[in-house]
Amino acid sequence: MARSERIGVAKTYKLYIGGRFPRSESGRSYPVTSEGGAFLANASQASRKDLRDAVVAARSAFGGWSGATAYNRGQVLYRVAEVMEGRREQFIAEVRDAEGVKPRTAESLVDTAIDRWVWYAGWTDKLAAVLGGTNPVAGPYFSFTVPEPTGVVGVLAPQRSSLLGLVSVLAPVLATGCTAVVVSSDARPLPAITLAEVLATSDVPGGVVNLLTGQAVELGPWLASHADVNALDLTGADPEHRTELARSAADTVKRVLRVPEDEPDWTSSPTIGRMRAYLEDKTVWHPMGV
């Protein structure tokens, strides 16, 4: 008997907010296609209300995540890399479809993304030693400077690099103890959705990462103007809109990460600069004694 052909099931993926996977409150979704135009799935199209819910979740999670020891945050992030490794083949297939690259290139991009996550995880308990220090003062005092996380970070993820670029902008936010509201690539969201599933099944507390699929041009202005977002990464914003978004962010005194006109080469080595951008320097004076 000839085997009948299986009927494909069209998936509609949800958002990731507060450790859960809700539908968009607007009920909107949009089709996701491969680089070659083949239909892959449907993705939820987040609205302003979804973004506001994500910011509330990120703010609620900030105290616990920033208050955890740096060593503990590092162990949690290492666990994320382990789970990513377990879903390596799925990531490779999704990156290949999303970016239209050859299988070997997709393998290299996924492996680099996992290695980069590990690299940032290793920095969690070293930032205070590298970026902090004692300050020479005139008087009977000790003066210490220590880095502290800035708060909730809004991230417009790279549009072309579906996984490696996303990891390169998200991992440094988490390594510093900040929480994140991320708008994924509009046309290439499936690797980001799979990463959200990894986060949900690892040890990352709900709300530390909130991932929205949809259009950066729609959600960016609301992220930039939200008063409870402390920093903004405009990597995935249209270059024509970055100046306007930066002005909007200035109204609420946000830190804005400077980005080049075009997306950088994400395969190049990461730097500590992306973590420094999300840290505040706190200086403490203490008397030396009698």
In a domain, 9, yes or no: no
What is the reported pLDDT for 286? 82
In Å, what is the CA distance from 286 to each residue of 33, 131, 156, 169, 272? 59, 20, 41, 36, 29
Checking if the pLDDT of 189 tops 70, the result is yes
In a domain, 153, yes or no: yes
Q: What CATH code is carried by the domain that includes residue 247?
A: 3.40.605.10
Mean pLDDT of 193-202: 97
Checking if the pLDDT of 154 tops 60, the result is yes
Lowest-pLDDT choice from 49-53, 120-124, 168-172, 267-271: 267-271
Instruction: pLDDT band for 194, please (50, 70, 90 cuts).
Output: very high
In a domain, 243, yes or no: yes
Digit-coded pLDDT (tens) for 84-111: 999 999 999 999 999 999 999 999 999 9
In a domain, 109, yes or no: yes
Q: Which domain holds residue 146?
A: 14-262+269-287
In a domain, 1, yes or no: no
How far apart, in whole angstroms, are the C-alpha atoms of residue 257 and residue 66?
A: 20
In a domain, 112, yes or no: yes
Mean pLDDT of 28-41: 95
In Å, what is the CA distance from 46 to each residue of 39, 117, 193, 200? 20, 26, 13, 19
Number of domains in the chain: 1
